[in-house]
Amino acid sequence: MPDLSRLALNQITTYRWTMDQAIEGCAARGVGGIGVWRQYLEAYGVGQTARHLKEAGLFTASLCTSAWFNHAGDAEFKAAIDENRRILDDAAAIGAPTLVMVVGGLPPGAKDLAGQRARVRDALHELLDHARATGVRLGLEPLHPMYAGSRSCLNTMAMANDLCDELGEGTAVVADVYHCWWDPEFEAGLRRAGPDRVATFHLCDWREPTRNLCDRAMVGDGVADIGALRRVLDDIGYKGPFELELFSELDWWRRDPDDVLDIGIERCAPYVMR
Ligand code: ZN
């Protein structure tokens, strides 16, 4: 029986499971923790989720995700910041040490990517006090640049590290194989972040060929060298969680979630040992 105490199921992976099913599915298999998504949290309730996680003995790796900042109007932009304060409160209530920040791409019709990145930076500054007060870190997750127009204009580990340097306490990076494997500076970015600033590490793989924007491969089925990444993480002294995180419209989301988690555990086991 492998030691799965560092492994967390990022619950988007078991897309069709409710919060209750995901918690029980992890507990039954000895998976140490869970990466919670907001839609399941809202459906099950914050209080009930917190109680159930505690009873099951699971740690919370993170809460996914922040509300986007891709609004054109100032009022909507401000509302998104307020919404993120509320999400930080929910993260604290379920014991999540990190809120995964997916910051949104360009506002509709906009072309000013540099300007939007500056607005995101301003938004993070505005959120920082609340993050510090709740004890939940803003986990800056660089997304693959193919999402720069839609889901996130934060696209490299270097950008995330620069923001963490500027913002300081209360911030961290979230590293994800699928989003960062292509980046020649990925390893350097992990080393620059160091063990304390890497909040959590998302395990998945890059499918070749990739068919759409929601087509991650199971760990080991793609072209990313996950063993090499684990060696870098060991080298820097990373002690945090590993989350299995698959978005997969055409394949894994269509399968029985019990099978997905069983296969995921088998594939992740070599990379999640202590
Ligand atoms: Zn991720």
**Is residue 1 one of the residues assigned to a domain?**
no
Q: What is the pLDDT of residues 207-243, one digit of tens each?
A: 999 999 999 999 999 999 999 999 999 999 999 999 9
Domain-embedded: residue 78:
yes
Mean residue pLDDT of the chain comes to 98
Ligand 1 centroid, distance to 202 Cα (angstroms): 5
* pLDDT at residue 176, as a whole number: 98
Alpha carbon of residue 264 to chain centroid: 17
Residue 173, SS3?
strand
Q: Which of 83, 53, 46 is nearest to 68 (CA)?
A: 83
Each residue's pLDDT tens digit, 148-177: 999 999 999 999 999 999 999 999 999 999
CA distances to 14, 240, 259 from 25, rounded to whole Å, are: 10, 21, 11
| Residue 154, domain member (yes or no) | yes
Give the per-residue pLDDT at 158: 98
| CATH label of the domain that carries residue 249 | 3.20.20.150
Tell me the per-residue pLDDT of 64-107, one tens digit each, with 9 for 90 and over: 999 999 998 999 999 999 999 999 999 999 999 999 999 999 99
Domain membership of residue 23 (yes or no) is: yes
Note whether 139 and 199 are within 8 A (CB): yes
State pLDDT tens for residues 114-143: 999 999 999 999 999 999 999 999 999 999
Domain assignment present for residue 2? The answer is no
Rounded CA gap, 147 and 134, in Å? 29
**49 backbone dihedrals φ, ψ, rounded to 5°:** -65, -45
| pLDDT recorded at residue 72 | 86
- C-alpha 240/C-alpha 6 separation (Å) is 7
Domain count, the chain: 1
Surrounding residues of ion ligand 1, Cβ less than 5 A: 176, 202, 245
CA triple 212-213-218, angle to 5 deg: 85
- The verdict on residue 47 lying in a domain is yes
Task: Tell me the pLDDT tens digit for each residue of 27-37.
Answer: 999 999 999 99
Contact 271, 218 (CB under 8 A): no
Tell me, what's the pLDDT at 1?
81
Cβ-based neighbour number of residue 194 at 10 Å: 13
CA of 199 relative to ligand 1 center, distance in Å: 11
pLDDT-derived band at 256, boundaries 50, 70, 90: very high
Determine the pLDDT at residue 19.
Answer: 98
Whether 249 is covered by a domain: the verdict is yes
* SS3 labels along 186-200: HHHHHHHHHHHHEEE
C-alpha of residue 113 to centroid of ligand 1, in Å:
22
Distance between Cα 237 and ligand 1 center (Å): 21
The residue segments making up the domain with residue 261 are 7-272
CA of residue 151 to ligand 1 center, whole Å: 12
- CA 260 / ligand 1 centre spacing (Å): 17
Domain-embedded: residue 29: yes
Ligand 1 centroid vs 244 CA: distance in angstroms? 9
Find, among 8, 23, 26, the residue nearest to 53 by Cα: 23
Size of the chain in residues: 274
Q: How far is the CA of 35 from the centre of ligand 1 (A)?
A: 10
